[in-house]
Chain A
Amino acid sequence: MNLTLKIWRQSNAQAKGKMVDYKVTEISEHMSFLEMMDVLNEQLINKGEEPVAFDHDCREGICGMCSMFINGEAHGPDRGVTTCQLHMRMFKDGDTITIEPFRAKAFPVIKDLVVDRSSFDRIQHAGGYISVNTSGNTQDANAIPISKHAADEAMDAATCIGCGACVASCKNASAMLFVGAKVSQYALLPQGKVEAIDRVQNMVAQMDLEGFGNCTNTGACEVECPKGISLENIARMNREFLSANIKG
């Protein structure tokens, strides 16, 4: 198929960006979206122009690097997929596709479609861990049985890939789904209970400091999350936070 692409180009963090039009031809429906971008870039390089910068690595939906806002949706029109898992069969010959970076105050653009998500890392530094030493001997792994239900729920929360689609989809640029998922994983497990109060308070404080917006329960994040992280995680975090403030 032949397509028109409207892509955000911005040469660095300080520069003013703009949308630029490109044409690509002979795109196969079996290609992934990023393979289509590879075709465009190869074309640009061969013409002596600068290729479009975008983040990607695993190309199988797990590392969380890829981050494009496609036709007004984080990770594009398909559900439950990251940008790298989006396939061209979702589009038709002659389509015009707009491609922008994930936008949020806490995710400044570095270049073209590449944004700086280090704010997510700093939230994790504030409490996204259990304080156990890694070098010593701990107790046997089966010493504390954990119900299958709790383990499965913790696992569901832990599947968050830290891509930031939730933030990019939220009109307030809130990071509640991301933070809620991490807080929930630990809140659901006995190992995480010991530091629960400090954890939720510190992570939420850092989130606010980074300039993420407030949650107004629109649910847009859950819709665009490629890993199906549910809003329940936000509710659980709110409960944790309230009870921490009472206890703490």
Chain B
Amino acid sequence: MSVLDSKVPKGPLKTKWTDYKNHIDLVNPANKRNIDVIVVGTGLAGGSAAATLAELGYNVKTFCYQDSPRRAHSIAAQGGINAAKNYQGDGDSTYRLFYDTVKGGDYRSREANVYRLAEVSANIIDQCVAQGVPFARDYGGLLDNRSFGGVLVSRTFYAKGQTGQQLLLGAYSAMNRQIARGKITPFNRHEMLDVVKVNGKARGIIARNLVTGEIERHSAHAVVIASGGYGNVYFLSTNAMGSNATAAWKIHKKGAYFANPCYTQIHPTCIPRSGDYQSKLTLMSESLRNDGRIWVPKNMEDVMAIREGKKKPTDLSEDERDYYLERRYPAFGNLVPRDVASRAAKERCDAGYGVNATGEAVYLDFASAIQRYGVEQAKIHNIENASKDKIYELGAAIVKAKYGNLFQMYEKIVDQDPYKTPMMIYPAVHYTMGGVWVDYNLMTTVEGLYCIGEANFSDHGANRLGASALMQGLADGYFVLPYTIGDYLSHEIRTGKIATDTPEFDEAEKSVNDQINFFINNKGSHSVDYYHKKLGKIMWDKCGMSRNAEGLKEAMAEIKALREDFYKNVSVPGTATELNAELEKAGRVADFLELGELFAKDALAREESCGGHFREESVELDGEQEGEAKRNDVDFAFVSAWEYKGEPGDAVLHKEELEFNEIELKQRSYK
């Protein structure tokens, strides 16, 4: 087992990044014009990186599978973005954001990376405001903040419930400026299907034009993967339908180690599923937990009556309700981190207290918030003896201003009015902390191949705090990669244009064509979705919110068998030389069928509970923390980085030991 070199620079944590930046080799502007960079993905990470690299003078090509960079999945992020600005004067600082992130991630992330993230976070807000991102403001005209789970300060910046949209449109506008200058060439409706390596270095990609089916070769001096997360390995998740692991998985097969695949975030507040036809799950932003209280009935008779439609949730008195998060975690209450909130919901539903027909739903109730805001507003407006209705009206208006679009989204889907009756929610797969292993420079184990945003494993450890993914994506793209990539590219100034008529490109193109032709000619008996749904069920049942050794072993064997069946019996209609959505899906599901197996293998190897990874064998048996997850720092304070060896089940583990010099490792307590 080799030791991985994270290339974290020496020196004190607080000045590490600045010192390092000051000593990175620079590329002179005249030379940058001769250097090409490929960026796969135009979400917050890829979009911001592409714009900045182009602005610095490199020639950039961007790729995305949607018809426009603006539609990358980052667009769907709702709640907000963290930054240690301390505008609220509530004691926030770079150190506190760093500390919260390491603790929230259950001490499984790299200190130096997280500190750098916290350090550049404030810059992101400045940058985005300069671009015209319309963040929410208070009446004094200054930026407003809200709180998110797992922290006790208010550091989340937001633009209604559409923060991701506004940030992405900001990055897209920065891209547009560079497209107009000719420094970015966008390849939309294109999918990267392989990376090309020449003498061990990443030198280009093979991409499919999704409209014509043409297979194209693109060369560059460095390749950046910013293709997002792999939550769709579960079939149902809050990710977009097209979100996929193909780019990340293909580079894994070409030598990039894949880290901590089992670290998945199951988000506590999503709309419960309603039937077998369900194609995706919808998130209700975590920001709702600022004002919503989560509960199930205390008594089983009430649960039954509600399920049978004989009682309504609003019929239950305060005493008949179990606000289980407030009960179990008095210090953080409804604002415990996501992994804790999700497991608590599962615990209540497994015990039989779920409030809908499937038994998999809990309430998120705004009645207290509406009342509280109503009373406050009545005071502000000097309304004496306000009636109950007036208070409700005033309070509902505040809730509407804060969460109006989320409430509307809920009503459109569920056909119930959340101002009048509590929302029903249940956990769903949302984010993947695991991903391609990268060093401090965000370079993978393949030279010249970088990975940023949700696609890499860095920064969030075993659990991500709310509003930190947007922060990480933009930090990577605007403020980290543009510096660190210079260190590598400064050695490329004499390389010259990379040719694409070489054996390496021939070979990569051939393997892409072989796979496509296989799918088109297979004429099997099952659709791609048939396999994707089966994979999703194995993942959810055996690699979901709680995992055990037996289930994980079964999952590995079942996924392998499913993959073999897929290659015998999958059916893809149409041809390779046209727009063919089924063909696109087939390639993505083929990769999920491999990734899923590695996922289970990783979960099996990690015999501890940490963050989103909960092993039933590793819980506290007594004391105040009884029943809570039990981490094992002696044996597992490392990053698992897997090397591909032909079959996912044969992957070889490399450990990056995690050193904690600034922060003392403690059992997380939100009690």
A residues whose Cβ falls under 8 Å from a Cβ of B: 11-12, 28, 30-32, 34-35, 38-39, 42, 44-46, 48-51, 53, 55-65, 78, 80-81, 85, 87, 89, 110-111, 114, 116-118, 120-121, 124-126, 128-135, 137-142, 144-148, 151-152, 154-155, 158-159, 161-162, 185-186, 189, 191-192
Contacts and interface: CB of A to CB of B under 8 A. Distances in A.
B55 A133 contact: yes
A80 B68 contact: no
B127 A134 contact: yes
Interface stretch (B278-286, B314-322, B617-625, B649-657): B278-286
A48 B180 contact: no
8 contacts: A11-B578, A45-B582, A50-B573, A145-B137, A145-B142, A148-B141, A152-B134, A154-B134
A167 to B, nearest CB: 14
A144 B179 CA distance: 29
B174 A60 contact: no
A155 B242 CA distance: 27
Interface of B: 48, 51-52, 55-56, 66-71, 73, 75-76, 85, 87, 123, 125-132, 134-143, 159-160, 162, 165-166, 169, 172-174, 176-177, 179-180, 186, 188, 211, 240-242, 274-275, 277-280, 282-283, 408-409, 412-413, 415, 478-479, 482, 527, 529, 571, 573-574, 578-579, 581-582
A189 B159 CA distance: 15
B179 A114 contact: no
A55 B67 contact: yes
Contacts of B274: 30
B134 A158 contact: yes
**Which one of A31, A63, A158 has the greatest number of beta carbons of chain B within 10 Å?**
A63
A121 B275 CA distance: 37
Contacts of A56: 241
A142 B135 CA distance: 11
B415 A87 contact: yes
Contacts of A151: 134-137, 141
B250 to A, nearest CB: 21
Given A117-B68, A141-B129, A158-B169, A61 B409 contact: yes
B66 A57 contact: yes
B496 to A, nearest CB: 26
B165 to A, nearest CB: 6
Contact of A189 (B125, B134, B186, B527): B134
Contact of A48 (B127, B478, B573): B573
A89 B129 contact: no
B141 A145 contact: yes
Given A135-B55, A141-B125, A148 B173 contact: no
B478 A63 contact: no
Contact of A185 (B132, B138, B279, B571): B132
A31 B278 CA distance: 7
Nearest to A130: B132
B176 A129 contact: yes
Contacts of B123: 137
A30 to B, nearest CB: 5
Contacts of B408: 80
A148 B412 contact: no
B578 A134 contact: no
A135 B56 contact: yes
B476 to A, nearest CB: 13
A117 B131 CA distance: 24
A129 B173 contact: yes
A110 B131 contact: no
Given A45-B527, A110-B211, A129-B176, A191 B131 contact: yes
Given A145-B141, A152-B134, 17 more contacts: A35-B277, A42-B529, A45-B582, A57-B242, A58-B73, A59-B240, A61-B412, A64-B70, A87-B412, A130-B130, A132-B131, A135-B478, A138-B130, A141-B128, A141-B143, A155-B160, A186-B132
Contacts of A134: 48, 51-52, 55, 127, 131, 174, 478
Contact of A191 (B66, B132, B139, B413): B132
**Which one of A129, A148, A155 has the greatest number of beta carbons of chain B within 10 Å?**
A129
Contacts of A32: 279, 413
Contact of B162 (A53, A62, A132): A62
Contact of A64 (B71, B179, B275, B282): B71
Contact of B76 (A35, A45, A62): A62
A156 to B, nearest CB: 9
A162 B70 contact: yes
A168 to B, nearest CB: 15
Contacts of A28: 275, 277
A49 B527 CA distance: 12
Contact of B87 (A11, A48, A142): A142
Nearest to B239: A58
Contacts of A114: 579
Contacts of A126: 180
Nearest to A57: B240
A30 B278 CA distance: 10
Contacts of B174: 129, 134
Contacts of B169: 158
A142 B240 CA distance: 34
Contacts of B70: 64, 121, 162
Nearest to B528: A45
B132 A87 contact: no
B282 A60 contact: yes
A146 B127 CA distance: 16
Contacts of A125: 176, 179-180
Contacts of B283: 60
**Leading 9 A-B pairs by shortest Cβ distance:** A145-B141, A129-B173, A155-B134, A141-B129, A154-B134, A138-B130, A57-B240, A63-B71, A151-B137
